[in-house]
Amino acid sequence: MKLLLISLQSNAYVTGLKYVAANARSYGHDVKILFLPGYLESTLNPAIAEFISNFNPDLIGISLMSIEYYPAKNLTRLLKEKFDVPIIWGGVHAIIKPGECIRYADYVCIGEGEHAVVSLLNHLSTKGKGTSPEIPGVWVNYNGHIIRPLIAQPETNLDSLPFQEYLPDYFYGFHNNRLYNFAEHQRLFRQYALYGGTCHMMITTRGCPFHCSYCGNSAFMNVFGRKVRERSVRNVIDEIKEVIKNPFILYINFQDDCFFTHNKEWMEEFCRLYKKHINLPFIARAIPTMLDKKRLSMLVDAGLCWIVMGIQSGSDRVNFEVYNRKIRFPAVKKAADLISETHAAPFYEMIVDNPYETEEEKIETINSIATLKKPYIASLAHLTFFPGTPLAEKAVKDNIVTPDAYLFRYLLNIDETYLNKLLAITPCTPRFIVKYLNKHEAQRKPLHIFLLNVLHFAVKRFIEPVVFLFITMRSLDYRINWIVRTVLGNWKSTLARLVSKYLGKSDLEFDQRLTLAKKNMPELFK
């Protein structure tokens, strides 16, 4: 059987699809992955139509985050007009809004896709598309009748799943009205890949120990449960051994919600084998209250160079009462001090544009962030009310947002408010200047606004890139070969971020295309 998997996201980081593809191939199915970033055209491009016609798939899978709902709806319509091939939707949005998705797709996967897709391919092979399948975790639109089976049990043995490849030879991308095999055009792949393609993105766990009100994980727990499932160390190392055969890979980027859910024994074995067999710098994510000095020191010694930590707000009330994130700021400060001692490069994530946050709490957040040990980089994200999350349900009930507001805006597209600008430059601005500018609206004078705008421009264009380079160099122990490869691999993506105010260029373009499509194809958005 032939399976075509399509990604509509704005970058070529498609780990989920690569895992699904690898598993289907292990069962003998022929698979291709097609990257169509934010496809919102009113007609199907001839190159895409020819590619699909030549491959002649038995099943088409479309993976979507919530922001890709309208592109998925549009592409499904175009595919159904041209081909008589069943279509299954999967991914984050399919899990949290299956009732919405099944109106347009033939099937919707509401859980992990590896086994569900193989079961569906086997059904189509033996019984054909004229018979409704009964597959746990797969909703079916059978001649307008919606069949909702039981939720599939999550995979408990993650080691049983085949490894994903860094750059499969069956991965294709749509660029300038043509289709390219990314393995044969690696420069083009790196143009669309995060961090210039220097990273291999992977996960060692599935699940998160927290139940934050704004996060999709709070909705996923109804499907996958609360337990964090983990891969064995040797399974993780074996995947990395395979992918680093590509000489362009410089970093391993662990995308786990919190790498520190692994216990001390797992960490010790990981650090020993990673240093022995891999010896590349890596990136990991952490929750402040789960950091400890011993495990952090072990990881830094093994190659941890960048550590991403969610702070979200400097206000304890906002974190506790609004975000259901039971972490007080002193715990954040303690974790930041530990990171600073190791010389790992800190990257702290914050949430802004929160209608439940008062002006006083925004000022408190800036004051709190200003106390963290420098140098560090901060990333601001627009608060998005994802469906199925407690915070979204509250916001809709309170008439603060419309139920579909999350479909139209990327996380990094934040409001350009006075306090957002100040928070964005706080990591690279002396504390006394931050204190001088951190004023309530009623206290601000034209001089405050003028100075902030000048500083914001200077920091984001010049000072922050220098700080970024410095902490990267320091985290790499000033090893010239790694530094040179990092700069060469990332300069294009860094330049794109600089000229678009640190919103990813492809994300910004997709936001613009979405707005244009809403004007030109209003029927799509009904």
DSSP character for 28?
T
Q: Judge if the upstream peptide bond of residue 149 is cis by omega within 30 degrees of 0.
A: no
User: Which residue's entry shows tokens 């699904």?
Assistant: 20
Could you give the residue range(s) of every CATH 3.80.30.20 domain in the chain? Answer: 194-511
CA 14 – CA 97 distance, rounded (Å): 20
CA–CA distance from 240 to each of 166, 189, 200, 278, 282 (Å)? 9, 20, 8, 7, 11
Separation between Cα atoms, residue 275 and residue 282, nearest integer Å: 11
Going by C-alpha positions, the residue among 500, 482, 479 that lies closest to residue 490 is 482
- Provide the residue type at 333 as one letter: K
Q: Record the tokens describing residue 334, joined without a space.
A: 């303690």
Report d(CA 200, CA 489) in Å as an integer: 13
The one-character DSSP state at 363 is H
Secondary structure (3-state) at 253: strand
Q: How far apart (Å, rounded) are the C-alpha atoms in residues 117 and 296?
A: 38
pLDDT tens string, the chain, 526 residues long: the values are 999 999 999 889 899 999 999 999 999 999 999 999 989 999 999 999 999 999 999 999 999 999 899 999 999 999 999 999 999 999 999 999 999 999 999 999 999 999 999 999 999 999 998 899 999 999 999 988 999 988 888 999 999 999 999 999 999 999 999 999 999 999 899 888 888 888 999 999 998 888 899 998 877 776 777 789 999 999 999 999 999 999 889 899 999 999 999 999 999 999 999 999 999 999 999 999 999 999 999 999 999 999 999 999 999 999 999 999 999 999 999 999 999 999 999 999 999 999 999 999 999 999 999 999 999 999 999 999 998 899 999 999 999 999 988 888 888 889 999 999 999 999 999 999 999 999 999 999 999 999 999 999 999 989 998 998 899 899 988 988 888 877 776 654 444 443 333 334 556 677 778 888 988 999 998 8
Q: Which helix (H) or strand (E) holds 215?
A: none
CA-based end-to-end distance of the chain: 35
CB 3 within 8 A of CB 90: no
Say if residues 179 and 189 touch (Cβ distance below 8 Å): no
Quickly tell me which residue has 């609360």 as its tokens. Answer: 226
DSSP string, 274-304: HHHHT---EEEEE-GGG--HHHHHHHHHHTE
Greatest CA separation for the chain: 73
| Span(s) in the chain for CATH 3.40.50.280 | 2-158
Per-residue DSSP letters for 84-101? Answer: ---EEEESHHHHH-HHHH
Q: Is 254 left (phi over 0), alpha (psi -120 to 50) or beta?
A: beta
User: According to the model, what pLDDT value does residue 504 have?
Assistant: 45
3-state helix, strand, coil in the chain (%, to 5): 50, 15, 35
Provide the 10 A C-beta neighbour count for residue 471. Answer: 21
For residue 470, give the nearest of 348, 368, 346, 370 by alpha carbon.
Answer: 346
Given this model, what pLDDT does residue 497 score?
42
pLDDT of residue 288: 97
Contact 431, 373 (CB under 8 A): no
Degrees (nearest 5) of the Cα angle 347, 352, 355?
Answer: 160
User: Closest Cα to residue 148, out of 112, 110, 117?
Assistant: 110
Euclidean distance between CA atoms 456 and 263, whole angstroms: 41
| Distance, C-alpha 369 to centroid of its chain | 24
10 Å CB burial of residue 238 (0-12, 13-18, 19+) is middle
The CATH architecture one would assign to domain 2-158 is 3-Layer(aba) Sandwich (3.40)
Classify domain 194-511 by CATH architecture: Alpha-Beta Horseshoe (3.80)
pTM of the model: 0.93
CB 154 within 8 A of CB 27: no
Q: For position 508, what pLDDT does the model report? A: 61
In the prediction, which pLDDT does 16 show? 94
